[in-house]
Amino acid sequence: MKTFFIALLLAFTAILNAHAQIISADVGVNGLTCSMCARGTEETLKRLDFIDSIDVDLNTLVAHITFKKNMNAPVEDIVKAVEDAGFSVRNITATFNFSNQKVGKDEHIDYGNDVLHFVGVEDQTLNGPVTLRFIDKPFVSKKEFKEWSKKTSMTCYKNNKKDACCPVNVTPTKRLFHVTVTS
C-alpha cells in the first residue's frame, strides 16, 4: 500500500511538473512570391507580443520565429497573423521545451489555450527541446493528410475540427491542433 501511495504521489508530481514551452517555429507561408508581400507578412507577425525575433527566408518563404521566454504563444494567433497579412500557412514545425511530458497515441495535452493532439507517436516522455510538426489538414498535402488519417481513429482529425471524440480538456474556447513528434 505504501508503494502504491508513493507511486501515486510521483505520478501526481509528474503531472504537476509536466510542462511545454515553445522556443521557436518555422512557418511556411503560401500565396506570395515577392519581397514586398513577405515584408508585409513579417510586419504583421511582429505585432504579436510573444515573438522575440523573426526572419523570413525570401526564397523559400519560411518565417523563422523565436519566442520570448515564459510567454504563451498561441499557434492560432500565428496562423491568424499570416491570414491578416493576406496569405495562408503552408506548414508549421515548432520546437518546444518539454519537462516530463508523457505523450502517446491520441494523447491530448494543454498548451495555454491550445490543445495539442499527438498523432502517430509511441508512448514516451518528452524532455528538453523536441520538434513537433503540425499536421492539421491546412498544413499538410492531401496525400500526407490521408496517411495521417490512417494513424488515428478520432474523427476530429479527419473533420479538421473539435468533435465528440475529443477529451474533456478540449473545451469550446480552446483551439485544437494535431501534431506529431519529428525529433
Partner 1 sequence: MKYLIPIFFFGFFAARSSAQELFIYSEPASNMPNRSYGFVIGAESFGKAGSFFTRNDLGFMYEVTGALMTTVTLHASNYYGGYDFNNVDAYAKYRIFSDDGFKQHFRIAAYAMGAVGEQRNTFADVELEGGNRGLGAGFIFTLLQNRFALSSTIGVITLVPDVKAAPGITFQDVRNYNYSLSAGFLVYPAHYESYRDLNFNLYAELLGKYITYDHMETSMPGMIMHEHGTVLDLAIGPQLIINSISRVDLSLRSRLISGVAGFPKPCVLLRFEQMFYH
Which one among 10, 83, 159, 169 touches partner 1, defined by CB under 8 A?
83
Q: CA 77 → CA 14, 69, 84, 177, distances in Å?
A: 29, 17, 10, 13
Helix and strand numbers, DSSP H then E, in the chain: 5, 8
Is the separation of the CB atoms in 7 and 19 below 8 Å? Answer: no
Nearest to partner 1 of 42, 106 (CB atom): 42
Near partner 1 by CB under 8 A, which window of 86-94, 142-150, 158-166, 175-183? 86-94
Query: Is the CB of 32 or the CB of 92 nearer to partner 1?
Result: 32
Binding partner 1 by CB under 8 A: which of 18, 40, 158, 163?
40
DSSP state of 91: E
d(CA 60, CA 151): 30
Yes or no: say if 78 and 48 are a contact pair by the CB < 8 Å rule.
yes
> What is the separation of C-alpha 144 from the centre of its chain, rounded to a whole number of angstroms?
17
Of residues 43 and 147, the one with the C-beta less far from partner 1? 43
**Of the two residues 106 and 136, which places its CB atom closer to partner 1 in the complex?**
136
Residue 54 sits in the site that holds partner 1 (CB under 8 A): no
- Positions 87 through 106 that interact with partner 1 (CB under 8 A): 87-88, 90
Take residue 83 and report the three cell numbers written for it: 491570414
When binding is defined by CB under 8 A, the residue of 33, 70, 173, 183 that contacts partner 1 is 33
In Å, how far are 22, 24, 52, 73 from 70, measured between CA atoms?
Answer: 9, 13, 11, 9
Question: Shortest distance, CB of residue 28 to partner 1, whole angstroms?
Answer: 8
Binding positions for partner 1, rule: CB under 8 A = 28, 30-36, 38-41, 43-44, 58-59, 61, 83-88, 90
